[in-house]
């Protein structure tokens, strides 16, 4: 799996990507195979060759202990951001999750709150909780202080 992620990263860069998003190896994380999780992220960060790398940890699928460990590994492997969700696993950012991630990263890396942000107030709450970026498919509506009706 890591080899595929590395090749996809290289291809994305060749195609003009300026940032890389990757999904943490959830199976390895849940199995407590932390070295495998670290090596996977480290390989992609190295392949990104200095480009901003964001690691999606799917907070809705993790308990707080797993969120903490995942975030610690993301930091140790040299990624630039920890990101809450892909939008495909039934949950997005919560204020509580962003506060937890913020307490872990302590400003050393960024936090991208993604998923479930549908209003301007939602976005503000995420930023106040410690998010440094917002990911929302309804960003235009949110900026105009309208409610987004998207699922993500």
Give phi and psi for 151, each to the nearest 5.
-80, -20
Helix axes 95-105, 120-129, angle to 10 degrees: 30
* Sheet of 19-23, strand order: 19-23, 52-56, 81-83, 110-114, 133-135
112 flagged as catalytic: yes
φ/ψ region of 5 (left if φ > 0, alpha if ψ in -120 to 50, else beta) reads alpha
Known catalytic membership, residue 30? no
Catalytic residue (choose from 5, 54, 67, 83):
83
- Domain ranges across the chain: 2-143
Q: Is there a catalytic annotation at residue 21?
A: yes
Record: fold of 2-143:
TIM Barrel (3.20.20)
pLDDT per residue, tens digit, the chain (152 aa), is: 899 999 999 999 999 999 999 999 999 999 999 999 999 999 999 999 999 999 999 999 999 999 999 999 999 999 999 999 987 777 789 999 999 999 999 999 999 999 888 888 999 999 999 999 999 877 777 777 766 666 54
Q: Which of 21, 40, 97, 122 is catalytic?
A: 21
């Amino acid at each position: 799996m890591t080899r595929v992620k590395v090749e996809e990263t290289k291809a994305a860069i060749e195609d003009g990507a300026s940032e890389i998003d990757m999904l943490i190896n959830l199976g390895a994380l849940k199995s407590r195979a932390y070295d495998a999780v670290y090596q996977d992220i480290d390989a992609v960060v190295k392949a990104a060759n200095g480009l901003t790398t964001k690691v999606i940890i799917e907070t809705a699928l993790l308990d707080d202990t797993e969120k903490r460990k995942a975030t610690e590994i993301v930091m140790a492997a040299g990624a630039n951001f920890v990101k809450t969700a892909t939008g495909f696993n039934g949950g997005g950012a919560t204020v509580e999750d962003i506060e937890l991630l913020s307490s872990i990263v302590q400003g050393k890396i960024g936090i991208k709150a993604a998923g479930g942000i549908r209003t301007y107030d939602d976005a503000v709450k995420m930023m106040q909780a410690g998010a440094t970026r917002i990911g929302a498919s309804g960003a235009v509506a949110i900026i105009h202080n309208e409610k987004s009706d998207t699922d993500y």
